[in-house]
Structure 1
Amino acid sequence: MPCRSTLTAGPFAAALFLSTLVLTVPAAAENWPQWRGPNANSISSETGIATEWSRTKNVAWRLPLPGPAGSTPVIWNDRIFLTSSVGSEEGADLVLIAANTKGEQLWQVKVGSGNKNARSSEGNSASASPTTDGKHVWVFFGTGVLACYDFDGNEVWKFNVQDRYGKFAIQFGMTSTPVLEGDHLYLQLIHGEMRGDYTVAKVIKLDKKTGEEVWAVDRPSEAIVENKHSYASPFIYDDGRQRFLVTHGADCTVAYDLEDGRELWRLGGLNGRSKFNQNQYDPTLRFVASPSFAENVIIVPTAKKGPVVAIRPSEGMSGDIASSEGAIRWVHEKTPDVCCPLILGDLAYFCRKDGKVFCLNLESGEELYYERTHNSQHRATPVYADGHIYLCARDGHCTVLKAGPEFEIVAENELGETITASPAISDGTLYLRTYEALYAVRAN
């Protein structure tokens, strides 16, 4: 899976060459096959995406949904897949829904039941996003049910990971989205089992076609209390020279070999007094925001008053890299708590839970601005398209920023429906999933 979030001379040259073929070769729509988009970096290469909308303005269609959820829809050609609870009550059914890009529901299948709501309905058991390879779609729910379906809604395989890998013990529910890469599915199950003085979690590789285990390894840490629980998701780092799985939670970030699951390196010291964090150990510093990556950098968020750490991954890194000067690019004292960082060219953007946004120079970590957008809770990860950054608040207010080193609000839009899912973009359309409906927003 490519991980570059910047355009180099090669892609620019290719784009210039391809522009001469527009009259004879139709442009292909970009799929959004997983949470955070085609390259798992929240970046779309599409242009002409709407920056203004309301419940009626620039809305191509609105598809009502059977219940609330925070999972992001995924799109492959003319198919859209999303998960949902059926109603908001505890114990409700959990379903996979397929629609088309005309806004018509094609089918809905029950995957399991037993929905649980997090505090004040901040989330529920349909928080992990689906993923697809164009032939099948994989879904994971907070109950532990993991399943694979074909595009017609036929079950290929299904099992509950709690039956295979142990019961969950996580305060606000399992929300981690599995990552699909090649013929395999990777999961991080960081939820609080204790073995002696260590928190034991699991990192797992499965055959995507059968659900059979390829490997499963323990992920020990010394995290305690609420910090044993992680709400973040794993990803594959690939810079053309090295490829590995990155997991995040329980006071540390850990990389694993894709072939055999052995630990390559870990970044500790993210909680408590260390070179990264001058605060006392915080037993509620659980990780929700996942790290983000571009070529030669991984940005690691923490939570609350914790730091952000930029890693410079290099071949041969091993052990705890916290003390390695060469591995650490910079440390910044502020962090997003829920929303993942967004890396664009030589800049990194961070949206905090209260709607404040800060922008850092990617090379040095220098803060270029720290400004407030909409004053409401933000849980959706920002996405980028065509020079703009899209931020969605829980109350349905979405802010569009101009990408660049200076803070500029381009538009502010109201839907008036709860949003905790990250936006998705495909074929000229911005998809916004609320607790009530799926919106397709297109510029006129």
Structure 2
Amino acid sequence: MKPFTVVLCTPFLFLLTATPCLADNWGSWRGPTSNGISTETSVPTEWSKDKNVAWRVELPGPAGATPVVWDDQIFLTTVDGSSLLLMCFGTDGQEQWRREISKGNKAARGDEGNSASPSPITDGKHVWSFMGTGDLACFTVSGQPVWHVDLQERYGKFDIAFGMSATPVLHEGRLFVQLIHGDGKPTTQEAIVVAIDANSGEHLWKVDRVTGAAKENEHSYASPILYDFGDRTFLITHGADYTVAYGLEDGKEIWRLGGLNPQGNNYHPTLRFVASPAAAEGIVVCPTAKNGPVFAVAPDRQGDLTDSDAVLWVRDQHTPDVPSPLIHGDLVYLCRENGMLLVLDRNTGQEVYMERTHSHRHRASPVFADGHLYLTARDGKITVVKAGKEFQIVAQNDTDETMSASPVISDGTIYLRTFEALWAIRKD
């Protein structure tokens, strides 16, 4: 294990970074409430390479990790040759600092990803970066190192075909990480969920995540999410044929949902999960893969929810394969990998409509702002669709640059991270 390096922040630095901001701070890859929803208004719906572009800055290498924004700073992970970097920019487009987290970048599935796939996380005082190498590091927002640990050294070597890509969840001074992988042997289960002290990097707890998944399904490329509504807060993990909820204090299992890939004669050997679940008050939507089913469950239950009355509804097919679901109002929005937008009634799962947006691979998760959905294709075209029960394309915008990161919205600006550059889209 790498030794911890602890750097104390001065009170002056804390004063600088704790200034309240009325605009949305986008501190994690799914935004202020971890569900892809912005509360901001007056957000641009139209842009091009030379329209509504406040600035564009070149990046040293490609990655699909979504940036995060807090006040006047932007943080993102990227590659630079074999180096894996955490970079900080001001909202004016000026680079403030860059730090090497580790070396040993590996490409995954050609142009689909690399070791900088997990997104950073920030609370405005510190920023945390996890890489596919297992390196997890913490810095102050001014770029001073706080601690660095190798999770492969601590918890065992990763065995996952296309690299570890789960983004950790931050909550009340703790980082929660799902490490769902395995060696493909039916007798071996390597999946774990861990909690780490966000201030020191010290281990808090670890639980085995036993599901009986086999073959490629032992590997998950989804990220955990937080259910944080009303008086209930817990962690939701996704992969290895199950969605499983855990308590934050000790990792005790609360509930699990099976049936996503039932074992038996019709077991699908390559139904690995990439899309993460989505949560809103009173509902968790669990995608699968490869045109499989989508499940909605009530989160206020315990034990095995499989085939119980906790399952609110099931859509037998048309799951999004990579983009995560988005829940807003009484609708569930599913952006499929081929650009089809499927909208379901939140309460019943009944189809409202399914329409094509842009016929290209979609890897980014949808974002909602000011009555619109932003759907991002790999060729850089972002389709803006009016939210609601009637399908209406408002605009289709193109930077002509490859993109798999989700858009980020903060202080009236849309930040786009392409494989070539970081863009700031703002109304002229």
1:207 equivalent among 171, 182, 197: 197
Gaps of 5+ in 2: 1-19
SS at match of 1:61: strand
What is aligned with 2:271? 285
Spell out, residue by residue over 1:320-378, the C-alpha distance to the aligned partner (whole angstroms, 9 max, x if none): 211212x0100002200000001010001000111111000000101011111111100
Displacement of 1:194 after TM fit? 6.4
What is aligned with 1:118? 108
Letter in structure 1 aligned against 2:331: L
Displacement of 1:222 after TM fit? 1.1
What is aligned with 1:298? 284
What is aligned with 1:15? none
Write the distance in 1 (CA, Å) between the matches of 2:98 and 2:171: 26
Write the distance in 2 (CA, Å) between the matches of 1:194 and 1:280: 18
Letter in structure 1 aligned against 2:314: V
Give the 5 Å matches for 1:80-229. 80-87=74-81, 92-193=82-183, 197-229=187-219
RMSD: 1.5
Give the 5 Å matches for 1:355-434. 355-434=339-418
Contact kept in structure 2, 1:307 and 1:335, CA below 8 Å: yes
Spell out, residue by residue over 1:171-195, the C-alpha distance to the aligned partner (whole angstroms, 9 max, x if none): 1111100000011000000011468
**Share of identical aligned residues, percent?**
57
Gaps of 5+ in 1: 1-25
Spell out, residue by residue over 1:257-278, the C-alpha distance to the aligned partner (whole angstroms, 9 max, x if none): 111111111101111379xxxx
1:247 equivalent among 237, 249, 253: 237
Displacement of 1:242 after TM fit? 2.0
Displacement of 1:198 after TM fit? 4.9
Contact kept in structure 1, 2:98 and 2:143, CA below 8 Å: yes
TM-score norm. by structure 2 comes to: 0.93
Contact kept in structure 2, 1:200 and 1:221, CA below 8 Å: no
Question: Quick check: 109-118 or 187-196, which moved more?
Answer: 187-196
Question: Quick check: 140-149 or 265-274, which moved more?
Answer: 265-274
What is aligned with 2:324? 340
Letter in structure 2 aligned against 1:330: W
What is aligned with 2:311? 328
Write the distance in 2 (CA, Å) between the matches of 1:400 and 1:170: 35
Letter in structure 2 aligned against 1:33: G
Contact kept in structure 2, 1:358 and 1:369, CA below 8 Å: yes
What is aligned with 2:12? none
1:67 aligns with 2:61: yes
Contact kept in structure 2, 1:198 and 1:223, CA below 8 Å: no
Write the distance in 2 (CA, Å) between the matches of 1:200 and 1:220: 8
SS at match of 2:127: strand
What is aligned with 1:28? 22
Displacement of 1:53 after TM fit? 0.8
Write the distance in 1 (CA, Å) between the matches of 2:55 and 2:117: 23
Contact kept in structure 2, 1:198 and 1:221, CA below 8 Å: no
Contact kept in structure 2, 1:117 and 1:125, CA below 8 Å: yes
What is aligned with 1:265? 255
Spell out, residue by residue over 1:364-407, the C-alpha distance to the aligned partner (whole angstroms, 9 max, x if none): 10101111111110000010000110011001111000000111
Write the distance in 2 (CA, Å) between the matches of 1:73 and 1:112: 19
Count the aligned residue pairs: 408
Letter in structure 2 aligned against 1:169: D
Write the distance in 2 (CA, Å) between the matches of 1:196 and 1:231: 20
- Alpha carbons of 1:188 and 1:390: their partners in 2 closer, same or farther (altered >3 Å)? same
Spell out, residue by residue over 1:183-234, the C-alpha distance to the aligned partner (whole angstroms, 9 max, x if none): 1000000011468635231100011000101101111111111111000111
What is aligned with 1:308? 294
Write the distance in 2 (CA, Å) between the matches of 1:414 and 1:194: 41
